[in-house]
Amino acid sequence: MFKQFSKRDAVPQTNVVDLKTAEAPVLKPIEPSEEDKELIAFLELKSRLHEALLDRLNFSVIDKIVPEELRREVAALVTEVLSRDNTPLRSSEFQRLVNELMDEVLGLGPLEPLLADPSINDILVNGHKTVFIERSGVLERTNTRFRDEKHLLRIIDKIVTRIGRRVDESVPWVDARLEDGSRVNAIIRPCAIDGPSISIRKFAKMPLTMDRLVSAGALSDQAAALLQGLVKARLNVLISGGTGSGKTTMLNAMSASISERERIVTIEDAAELQLQQEHVVRLETRPPNPSGGGSVNQRDLVRNALRMRPDRIIVGEVRGAETFDMLQAMNTGHDGSMTTVHANSARDALGRIEQMVTMMGIDLPMSAVRAQIASGLHFVVQLSRLADGKRRVISVSEITGIEGDVITMQDIFIYRKIGVTEDGEVQGEFIPTGIRPRCWDVLKTAGVDLGQTDLSGRTH
């Protein structure tokens, strides 16, 4: 069956390497490009100047110094060091150096220009050499970098100490918030294998209104009118979607329809809602202190909010046992409440709510849980970020009741994909399904005017 090899068939031994005595090949290090060499030299110069600034400036009164006066001091120091080291710089490089040193002293160093760019939605730092940003749903790499890992850790420490939190080997990750409201997550070694990582979801200077969402194609005029009507009629709404799908943006836009005469209590892990009303009480969770105590979770805040005479309770995102208390509030007179949840479809969103109620630790029959959901929630608004990075409302679904053990729903609006253009843009349309919502009379009773259509396509 198998060919028998003879000595004549043997493979010549001239190229055989003895692995025991062979020397490992010497790999030549990759030579950095001239551009990289210039950047490294610039970062090293900036680092030396920053150390000199730390020695010279009195940081206990830094907040009292006028920025222009501080800039003059920084410029003088740069001139002094460059003259001493005989390091000539072009005028543009000199100004860049002064600007970046100002960012190091007053802000977050290399991240400051990215934070100041209104077109950037997310800043993603993957180690000290790599920084990505997201614009309009599309990721792109930037030329921004930190001098070394120590520099990046210093910026992370600057972020977390401002709000009284810490990150170290014992607690290697942290959720924080910048002064402008931007949400930050940082994680360091040993959990971040390739070096510290920062994720920043920027706080929009101008919150997106419902009109702007319609102009951007996120939903239709008719659907926008319905969502605004749901808020005015004090129906309870669950906003569902994946990460980065625009849940908080939609919650902000819908909340604009709440009356100024109502008392609103918001509950969040990291405060980022931008409600425009005057009577708003904002509550935020608190992590454990270094000894492990003192934490305040969302469930604590929801239960406390019920004692604060709220007209509406808005939970930024339900994630655990607080979901049960939220449903209890919705079922006991706190109408018009809203919250968000991570889920890929309206039906999945209800499943997630069920799952989180069971996290409370009480052995409730699933039928009782589903009855609470069906009676407490009225609508699910499903969002998605499409392949081209654009965010769309995928469906507006009404919860109609419960049959047996199944919560029943009906879609009032859906987004129907048509195709994709050559440049990758997703084409589609947002259409009514032809089903008249059961809450139609509730909307009319609340004085909501939805125009000349009853959402089924028939005109009056």
pLDDT at 240: 98
Tokens matching residue 117:
């760019």
pLDDT at 63: 64
Q: Which fold has domain 108-201?
A: Beta-Lactamase (3.30.450)
pTM of the model: 0.78
How far apart (Å, rounded) are the C-alpha atoms in residues 249 and 273?
A: 8
Q: What is the pLDDT of residues 142-185, one digit of tens each?
A: 999 998 899 899 999 999 888 777 888 888 999 888 888 888 99
Closest of 454, 327, 346, 332 to residue 408, by C-alpha: 346
How far apart (Å, rounded) are the C-alpha atoms in residues 297 and 352?
A: 19
pLDDT at 3: 46
At 357, give phi and psi (nearest 5°): -65, -40
pLDDT at 104: 84
Q: What superfamily would CATH give domain 210-445?
A: P-loop containing nucleotide triphosphate hydrolases (3.40.50.300)
pLDDT at 11: 46
Per domain, the residue ranges of the chain are 44-51+65-106, 108-201, 210-445
pLDDT at 459: 42
Q: Over the chain, what HEC string results?
A: CCCCCCHHHCCCCCCCCCCCCCCCCCCCCCCCCHHHHHHHHHHHHHHHHHHHHHHHCCHHHHHHCCHHHHHHHHHHHHHHHHHHHCCCCCHHHHHHHHHHHHHHHHCCHHHHHHHHCCCCCEEEEECCCCEEEEECCEEEECCCCCCCHHHHHHHHHHHHHCCCCCCCCCCCEEEEECCCCCEEEEECCCCCCCCCEEEEECCCCCCCCHHHHHHCCCCCHHHHHHHHHHHHCCCCEEEEECCCCCHHHHHHHHHCCCCCCCCEEEEECCCCCCCCCCCEEEEECECCCCCCCCCECHHHHHHHHCCCCCCEEEECCCCCCHHHHHHHHHCCCCCCCEEEEECCCHHHHHHHHHHHHHCCCCCCCHHHHHHHHHHHCCEEEEEEECCCCCEEEEEEEEEEEEECCEEEEEEEEEEEEEEECCCCCEEEEEEECCCCCCCHHHHHHCCCCCCCECCCCCEC
Spacing of C-alpha 169 from chain mean position: 24
**Are 158 and 112 within 8 A, CB to CB?**
no
Collect the ranges in the chain with pLDDT lower than 50: 1-8, 10-11, 14, 19, 459-460
Residues 6+ positions from 122 with CB-CB distance below 8 Å: 133, 134, 199, 200, 201, 202, 244
